[in-house]
Amino acid sequence: MERMGTAHSGVETDWRRHADERLTDAGYRRGGARTALLDLLDVQRCARTVLEIEDELRASDRTIGRASIYRVLDELEQLHLVQRIEVGQGIARYERLAPDHHHHHLACKDCGAVIPFTDDRLEDAIHRLSAGAGFEVTGHDVVLHGTCAACRAAAAASVSTA
Amino acid sequence: MERMGTAHSGVETDWRRHADERLTDAGYRRGGARTALLDLLDVQRCARTVLEIEDELRASDRTIGRASIYRVLDELEQLHLVQRIEVGQGIARYERLAPDHHHHHLACKDCGAVIPFTDDRLEDAIHRLSAGAGFEVTGHDVVLHGTCAACRAAAAASVSTA
DNA sequence: TTTTCTGCAAACTGTTTGCAAAGGC
DNA sequence: GCCTTTGCAAACAGTTTGCAGAAAA
């Protein structure tokens, strides 16, 4: 049976099922906090901070302790089920790590938004580079810093107004 | 007169002179703490944490307050004279931003080392991508996560020993 | 002399940890 | 019943901020 009803955009990654499997294989039991967190991560589109995760869980009446969020996210990162990224300001963000979908981020320095994007040429360059390097590369992380379209528009508008 | 005696590898970027100019233009005065920090940054090769900077300054008898380090680094970042990078663990690192030399980083997850590297293909991909994006990109940041040569060797040795 | 810069110490904030109770198997 | 998972609260660590004295212009 195919899963459905998630907010994934077309491609069903089956991340949730894969995660359950990996967790079971690794000897983890099924706790309420972890389940709630997995459900949330499964539906999320892009990297979230722990505070955001906490708020969203509380909003859907599945409040769990902050320590549990950190602990579970750490486990999931060890199992390569989520990726931890930092786009500045020293606040960690987490997102699902799907084998078939990989993206990077633009961090808007005006509004703080984190916007995902993909680029094949970039991916290709990183793969070639990784293969030829003297070190073993297990993952990578690209962050573009700049201003998002909305903030650019807002800035332009305020200039013409002034 | 040309400056000399710095640890720059061949290419004299004149970063220090440029920095002094920018700071003066921006209306900053010359303080002891800032001077000591600029001297250190001028000679450094790759990104340092604030704690490392503090230790190095103390070691050379130019101890300055930690708050000053943060404050000056912040000013320098505003003026695009240093770049702040985060390679994980939520600890910020800072390094000179030289217009003629740009590099990225490998973060070794075993020993925590941060190793710089350059790659033209990667740079090219990012430039093309930035130009075509709907947002205005002012900077970028690539981090490869993996294991450095030394740690790989150590791991291999310990396996064969065991 | 006026304004900036600096150091100290206290405050903040995101993250981690110890421990006892609750929950899975 | 045994062992894991969870929540709470306290501890931590990096970073920021307020303020008074020192230093630059």
pTM: 0.85
* Residues A122/B125, Cβ–Cβ less than 8 Å: yes
**CA-derived radius of gyration, chain A:** 18
Residue B33, CB, less than 7 Å from strand C?
yes
How does pLDDT run across B72-108, given as a tens digit for each residue? 999 999 999 999 999 888 899 999 998 778 899 999 9
Q: Nearest nucleotide, C1' to the C-alpha of A30?
A: C24
Question: B48 φ, ψ to 5°?
Answer: -120, 150
Q: Angle A45-A121-A141 (CA atoms, 0-180°, nearest 5)? A: 50
DSSP conformation letters of B67-122: HHHHHHHHHHHHTTSEEEEE-STT-EEEEE-BTTB--EEEEETTT--EEEE--HHH
- CA pair distance A39, A57, nearest whole angstrom: 10
In chain A, domain spans: 1-98, 102-162
DSSP conformation letters of chain A: -----S---S----HHHHHHHHHHHTT----HHHHHHHHHHHH--S-EEHHHHHHHHHHTT----HHHHHHHHHHHHHTTSEEEEE-STT-EEEEE-BTTB--EEEEETTT--EEEE--HHHHHHHHHHHHHSSSEEEEEEEEEEEE-HHHHHHHHHHHHH-
Considering the domain B1-98, what is its CATH architecture?
Orthogonal Bundle (1.10)
Nearest Cα neighbor of B50 from B115, B87, B95 is B95
**Positions in chain A short of pLDDT 70:** 1-13, 159-162
Cβ separation B135–A106 shorter than 8 A = yes
- Chain A residue numbers with beta carbons less than 8 Å from the beta carbon of B74 are none
- CA A72 to C1' D15, in angstroms, rounded, equals 26
User: pLDDT-derived band of residue B11, with 50, 70 and 90 as boundaries?
Assistant: very low
In this structure, the number of other CB atoms found within 10 A of the CB of residue B78 comes to 10
Residue of B nearest to A117 (CA): B133
The share of chain B scoring above pLDDT 90, in percent, equals: 62
Cβ separation B125–A121 shorter than 8 A = yes
Q: Nearest nucleotide, C1' to the C-alpha of A63?
A: D7
- Nearest amino-acid residue to D23, taking CA and C1': B31
- CA pair distance A135, A133, nearest whole angstrom: 5
At B13 the pLDDT is 58
Q: Amino acid identity, residue A93? A: R
- Chain B residue numbers with beta carbons less than 8 Å from the beta carbon of A137 are 106, 144-146
At A161 the pLDDT is 61
At B156 the pLDDT is 80
- CA A72 to C1' C16, in angstroms, rounded, equals 13
Strands A48-49, A92-96: pairing is antiparallel
- CA B142 to C1' D5, in angstroms, rounded, equals 36
CB contact B155 to A (< 8 Å): no
Residue B27, CB, less than 7 Å from strand D?
no
Cβ separation B125–A122 shorter than 8 A = yes
First to last CA, chain B: 59
CATH number of A102-162: 3.30.1490.190
- CA pair distance B21, A161, nearest whole angstrom: 34
